[in-house]
Chain A
């Protein structure tokens, strides 16, 4: 029992309840049923719906009591309330019956039906018959884009949508209109919702006003979904998801509560970006392997195809979107000297700095970010690359208002009161980036700066911290110190006024802050910035008067940190690999037979590099789930699984190890990459680092000549657990992932709800004899409605509780409201070695970077591409709905540049970018784009939403001329063609999915190729 716990009496029974939250949260924490609408566990109380009425008594002699709204009542010691009291329960029923007077009669066609909070609460109050005989008010709906549907008739005016969209997520294009019985929630005009968190409206809305449009197009009820706990594969935050499948295709993604990461909310990329798993572009057949039986590919076919590679060397390229197991396996098949993560030289330098930072300090979780009172985001647009983190940053900014309210005695859960008191008061956010971001509107200062000058600002902050020992200086004094410090530097290394002001305010802010969080990322591919930030954090540790900030690095992909943990001093960059590939040995034979490419498209490689790769590799083996340019040119293509069809682990930005589970078995020959690699390893053998093996087993004679021991595998790994045992037996470095989890020998948890329907009919058109449910070796979940209750695991495939069909049922499984899950296991984190930093190639990165930035001519332009939540991540970008959201070209330039070129805002222009390439040849690219003028943009910086080719990354020149009508028309027609193509692919996808619904693939066992 903690000190905040008090005893209250609910219906004369004593309960221990926390007094830091409101009464409703207290009641729900005791797993008692009390209906509510407007209250949301993470958004607090406003008391709008009057649904959570309870009777409060003065003392034990009070017989009458009075009605209070539980959500706006604080918990006090010894308070006596009654939920069952007749006046309270009658009141609650009347509230529902009033809501029902206008609720349309459309549950059968409503996508929310079966997981509707309104349905649940109606049943809970006991209201069963509509007595009102009058007419119903109706509303017209709005078009809210391709992702969220709108059916305004169903609204019960709880105000949760606008509280989430506007207040919580900072949306601007949504609101509440009208009065009285005519309150309307929507946009001013029809149009796509602009917020990256619009999908949460679906879960936040207690009824079916906002529905998942993609899910509704190919709909199934919640109770019919076969779900598995999964991890988002679209960014490095690693939000927990529940992916639902029906009739062999993935239908939707819902939030899966994790108190330390995503809580109750997801971003739209995570929620809607799952479309790629159903894509037409999926690879479904092997290429380059001769198949003996026309019916199916056998394991023998694969080993025959690989038999002539026996004793041959391969190079391997892993990937930050493949699971940890697959990457680890690949590294050990090809050997550590031949492994690359698909990173280029500059990315390797970034990786070195990143791994140093991760070694030095552990990044905090999203929940911890929400407690900080100063956030400094530098060199990353997290609203687009890690959107869920941006949402947490927004919550952190509210801390100033919450603190102010608490000094007045208002608890933080009194949402509207806190917001009124706080007004526009926000905790400081400093943003320093090359593109404008969606957090700029809540930033105390947002400075746009070319890439090289960002590091300069960070360095000057470091200098301030080391030279100034006084944290009480005024702003002007700090600026003077800055000017003094830099007056001897050359012109380029001096800070301009805006930068001086920014750094000085940031210094003062940090001195005052109790908890600072610094967030950066790898999207600018700037190793110098990471090194500078590491140095910055280092010098905080020397200052006693300032708290050391937490440094968070946001890498690009879901498993970037996992790959980072596998890199060591022998790891290659893509360039090194390309150089190494044509090597010959003494007998003038090729050293390398070819390259094994694991779920990697080498997006940053130029066309020439890809040609070079193809020409120098005798055999190109590609494992991927979706067609891409490498799979087109490969000799052997092995179809692997996306996140929904396989098991594996992803490591998030913190180093947190999280398992994703198979939602449904794939159609053979598609199988997980690690299963393919397991088969490949059977013929190629695997290489065990004997240095490490010796430490484990001293009886093995030390082989000095060869540091690598070849192990011939005997048995195929049937399951991930077996694979882990195999790894753990052979490699001391393999993280102990299974140790904690192996102990649970309980009955597998059902992937389907106990109400799942259609079991004896869904495949009856193929064969009337029902196939038995798919079996899986060592699985902790069953492909069936039979199995243990979801209560037994913290990895809940879906959430449901008796009387609670919606996702609000999660409250029944939390220790207390907003707390961890009852079965929550301690998160495991991966450890890092500094082995990568030992490689001399990447060590001097800082000097290289400094030189290159010093080289940068003042007049040269720095073009930075804006990141886009929908299209920047390779997998999510394959979702047709996201392709429909593609925007036409737009570039932001400085007012002077525009004036010189004689162009105005919003005009269509032709931009010619040119640069001198590596071989001193002139590279140029012309782009038709709309101009946006930003007055505070430095002249040497421009950013836009289109990409330039790789050789145009540095020292480019830009010529702007007005585009003629023909050029604009041509561009717009090609843009419209893209949109039309996306529309067509969306429709054809839907048609195909519907056809597939009737031919559900039968898998008796979900294992590898050897299974049925």
Chain B
């Protein structure tokens, strides 16, 4: 590259910049009048975390701890209980949103589609303590994404209303004392 072309390119760049500035002076401003005016957030936007229920209205979360271990900031804590109906649920399920970075790893890790991120980003609070969400704050009354999936219908363990061998793709339990080979 010789000296002249270098000088020329420098000038072109400056002219282009000036042109852009002048152009933007006449375009419509991008500023959105939030909160009066809401921006579009895609359905799979990673915002506030919820716990969903399956189509039968039962909690999907089986308290397997995978979301908690996937969480890079360790902001999910829970305790599993086995209820009388054989289902495992979270005794408590707590997300500390003041730590949450909305990375969505928990949703990726969830084997039952229970934990999901929603396109709601309005999480500001005056008091940090209010950003600690317990299970009752997280649980919603719908299935969210993957509405047809129900973990217990796929898994081999028995719960009230679904015995051994009654899940999808299962044969009835084997009679161990039977003589058939």
Question: Chain A interface (Cβ within 8 Å of chain B)?
Answer: 104-109, 113-114, 134-141, 151, 153-154, 177-180, 182, 184, 186, 216-221, 223-224, 247, 755-762, 764-765, 767-769, 994, 997-998
What is the CA–CA distance of A179 and B181 in the complex, to the nearest angstrom? 7
Question: Chain B interface (Cβ within 8 Å of chain A)?
Answer: 62, 64-66, 68-69, 71, 73-82, 88, 91-92, 94-96, 98-99, 111-112, 128-129, 131-132, 134, 151, 154-158, 164-165, 169-174, 176-177, 181
What is the CA–CA distance of A93 and B66 in the complex, to the nearest angstrom? 25
Known contacts A764-B94, A768-B128; decide if A139 and B75 are in contact (CB<8 Å): no
Known contacts A138-B170, A757-B77, A760-B75; decide if A224 and B65 are in contact (CB<8 Å): yes
- Whether A216 and B82, one on each chain, are in contact in the complex, defined by CB atoms closer than 8 angstroms, is yes
A111 to chain B, nearest CB (A): 9
B107 to chain A, nearest CB (A): 14
- Whether A764 and B132, one on each chain, are in contact in the complex, defined by CB atoms closer than 8 angstroms, is yes
Q: Which of B88, B169, B172 contacts A109 (CB 8 A)?
A: B88
> In chain A, what residue has the closest Cβ to B91?
A994
- Whether A758 and B172, one on each chain, are in contact in the complex, defined by CB atoms closer than 8 angstroms, is no
What is the CA–CA distance of A998 and B90 in the complex, to the nearest angstrom? 12
Which chain A residues lie closer than 8 Å to B73 at the CB level? 760
What is the CA–CA distance of A224 and B78 in the complex, to the nearest angstrom? 11
Known contacts A108-B66, A757-B65, A768-B128; decide if A153 and B156 are in contact (CB<8 Å): yes
Given A106-B157, A755-B69, A761-B94, 8 more pairs with CB closer than 8 A: A108-B155, A114-B65, A138-B156, A138-B172, A184-B174, A758-B78, A760-B75, A765-B134
Which chain B residues lie closer than 8 Å to A151 at the CB level? 156-157
Which chain B residues lie closer than 8 Å to A104 at the CB level? 155-157
What is the CA–CA distance of A960 and B90 in the complex, to the nearest angstrom? 56
- Whether A757 and B79, one on each chain, are in contact in the complex, defined by CB atoms closer than 8 angstroms, is no
Q: Which of B65, B92, B177 contacts A998 (CB 8 A)?
A: B92
- Whether A761 and B176, one on each chain, are in contact in the complex, defined by CB atoms closer than 8 angstroms, is no
Known contacts A135-B169, A757-B65, A994-B79; decide if A108 and B181 are in contact (CB<8 Å): no
What is the CA–CA distance of A154 and B156 in the complex, to the nearest angstrom? 8
Q: Could you list 13 examples of A-B contacts with CB < 8 Å?
A: A109-B62, A114-B65, A137-B171, A138-B170, A177-B176, A178-B176, A218-B79, A757-B71, A758-B75, A761-B94, A761-B95, A761-B132, A762-B77
Which chain A residues lie closer than 8 Å to B169 at the CB level? 134-136
Which chain B residues lie closer than 8 Å to A178 at the CB level? 174, 176
- Whether A153 and B164, one on each chain, are in contact in the complex, defined by CB atoms closer than 8 angstroms, is yes
Which chain A residues lie closer than 8 Å to B88 at the CB level? 109
What is the CA–CA distance of A711 and B181 in the complex, to the nearest angstrom? 81
Which chain B residues lie closer than 8 Å to A180 at the CB level? 181
- Whether A761 and B77, one on each chain, are in contact in the complex, defined by CB atoms closer than 8 angstroms, is yes
List 6 A-B pairs, minimum CB-CB distance, nearest first. A104-B156, A758-B77, A108-B64, A757-B68, A761-B77, A138-B165
Q: Which of A105, A220, A755, A757 contacts B155 (CB 8 A)?
A: A105
- Whether B94 and A765, one on each chain, are in contact in the complex, defined by CB atoms closer than 8 angstroms, is yes
B176 to chain A, nearest CB (A): 4
> In chain A, what residue has the closest Cβ to B112?
A108
B106 to chain A, nearest CB (A): 10
What is the CA–CA distance of A456 and B138 in the complex, to the nearest angstrom? 74
- Whether B64 and A113, one on each chain, are in contact in the complex, defined by CB atoms closer than 8 angstroms, is yes
A210 to chain B, nearest CB (A): 15
What is the CA–CA distance of A105 and B149 in the complex, to the nearest angstrom? 13
Which chain B residues lie closer than 8 Å to A113 at the CB level? 64
Which chain B residues lie closer than 8 Å to A136 at the CB level? 156, 169-171
- Whether A760 and B174, one on each chain, are in contact in the complex, defined by CB atoms closer than 8 angstroms, is no
> In chain A, what residue has the closest Cβ to B155?
A106
What is the CA–CA distance of A184 and B177 in the complex, to the nearest angstrom? 10
What is the CA–CA distance of A218 and B81 in the complex, to the nearest angstrom? 7
Which chain A residues lie closer than 8 Å to B172 at the CB level? 138
- Most chain B CB neighbours (cut-off 10 Å) among A107, A761, A767, A994: A761
What is the CA–CA distance of A991 and B14 in the complex, to the nearest angstrom? 73
- Most chain B CB neighbours (cut-off 10 Å) among A138, A180, A224: A138
Which chain A residues lie closer than 8 Å to B112 at the CB level? 108
Which chain B residues lie closer than 8 Å to A761 at the CB level? 74-77, 94-96, 99, 132
- Whether A760 and B171, one on each chain, are in contact in the complex, defined by CB atoms closer than 8 angstroms, is no
B102 to chain A, nearest CB (A): 14
What is the CA–CA distance of A184 and B96 in the complex, to the nearest angstrom? 45
What is the CA–CA distance of A186 and B174 in the complex, to the nearest angstrom? 14
Which chain A residues lie closer than 8 Å to B158 at the CB level? 141
- Whether B79 and A997, one on each chain, are in contact in the complex, defined by CB atoms closer than 8 angstroms, is yes
A758 to chain B, nearest CB (A): 3
> In chain A, what residue has the closest Cβ to B174?
A182
- Whether A108 and B132, one on each chain, are in contact in the complex, defined by CB atoms closer than 8 angstroms, is no
A896 to chain B, nearest CB (A): 42
Known contacts A138-B164, A140-B164; decide if A758 and B68 are in contact (CB<8 Å): yes
What is the CA–CA distance of A764 and B99 in the complex, to the nearest angstrom? 10
What is the CA–CA distance of A997 and B73 in the complex, to the nearest angstrom? 20
B157 to chain A, nearest CB (A): 5
Which chain B residues lie closer than 8 Å to A153 at the CB level? 156-157, 164
- Most chain A CB neighbours (cut-off 10 Å) among B69, B131, B156: B156
What is the CA–CA distance of A998 and B78 in the complex, to the nearest angstrom? 9
A983 to chain B, nearest CB (A): 15
B53 to chain A, nearest CB (A): 16
- Most chain A CB neighbours (cut-off 10 Å) among B71, B96, B111, B129: B96
- Whether A139 and B64, one on each chain, are in contact in the complex, defined by CB atoms closer than 8 angstroms, is no
Which chain A residues lie closer than 8 Å to B74 at the CB level? 756-761
What is the CA–CA distance of A219 and B65 in the complex, to the nearest angstrom? 10
A176 to chain B, nearest CB (A): 10
Q: Which of A108, A137, A140, A756 contacts B62 (CB 8 A)?
A: A108
What is the CA–CA distance of A603 and B169 in the complex, to the nearest angstrom? 58
Which chain A residues lie closer than 8 Å to B173 at the CB level? 138-140
> In chain A, what residue has the closest Cβ to B71?
A757
Which chain B residues lie closer than 8 Å to A140 at the CB level? 164, 173
- Whether B71 and A109, one on each chain, are in contact in the complex, defined by CB atoms closer than 8 angstroms, is no
Which chain B residues lie closer than 8 Å to A216 at the CB level? 82
Which chain B residues lie closer than 8 Å to A134 at the CB level? 169
B119 to chain A, nearest CB (A): 23
- Whether A997 and B92, one on each chain, are in contact in the complex, defined by CB atoms closer than 8 angstroms, is yes
Which chain B residues lie closer than 8 Å to A135 at the CB level? 169-171
- Most chain B CB neighbours (cut-off 10 Å) among A135, A186, A764, A998: A764
- Whether A108 and B151, one on each chain, are in contact in the complex, defined by CB atoms closer than 8 angstroms, is yes
- Whether B81 and A994, one on each chain, are in contact in the complex, defined by CB atoms closer than 8 angstroms, is yes
> In chain B, what residue has the closest Cβ to A221?
B65
What is the CA–CA distance of A205 and B171 in the complex, to the nearest angstrom? 24
Which chain B residues lie closer than 8 Å to A107 at the CB level? 64, 111
- Whether A105 and B156, one on each chain, are in contact in the complex, defined by CB atoms closer than 8 angstroms, is yes
B113 to chain A, nearest CB (A): 11
- Most chain A CB neighbours (cut-off 10 Å) among B78, B79, B91, B158: B79
- Whether A109 and B64, one on each chain, are in contact in the complex, defined by CB atoms closer than 8 angstroms, is yes
Which chain A residues lie closer than 8 Å to B151 at the CB level? 108
What is the CA–CA distance of A105 and B79 in the complex, to the nearest angstrom? 21
Which chain A residues lie closer than 8 Å to B170 at the CB level? 135-136, 138
What is the CA–CA distance of A754 and B42 in the complex, to the nearest angstrom? 35
- Most chain A CB neighbours (cut-off 10 Å) among B73, B131, B173: B173
Which chain A residues lie closer than 8 Å to B177 at the CB level? 177
Which chain B residues lie closer than 8 Å to A137 at the CB level? 171, 174
- Whether B171 and A757, one on each chain, are in contact in the complex, defined by CB atoms closer than 8 angstroms, is no
What is the CA–CA distance of A761 and B73 in the complex, to the nearest angstrom? 9
A755 to chain B, nearest CB (A): 5
B150 to chain A, nearest CB (A): 12
- Whether A139 and B176, one on each chain, are in contact in the complex, defined by CB atoms closer than 8 angstroms, is yes
What is the CA–CA distance of A27 and B68 in the complex, to the nearest angstrom? 36
What is the CA–CA distance of A426 and B158 in the complex, to the nearest angstrom? 44
Which chain A residues lie closer than 8 Å to B94 at the CB level? 761-762, 764-765
Which chain A residues lie closer than 8 Å to B174 at the CB level? 137-139, 178, 182, 184
> In chain B, what residue has the closest Cβ to A219?
B80
> In chain A, what residue has the closest Cβ to B74?
A759
A249 to chain B, nearest CB (A): 10
B112 to chain A, nearest CB (A): 6
Which chain A residues lie closer than 8 Å to B66 at the CB level? 108
Which chain A residues lie closer than 8 Å to B82 at the CB level? 216-217, 219
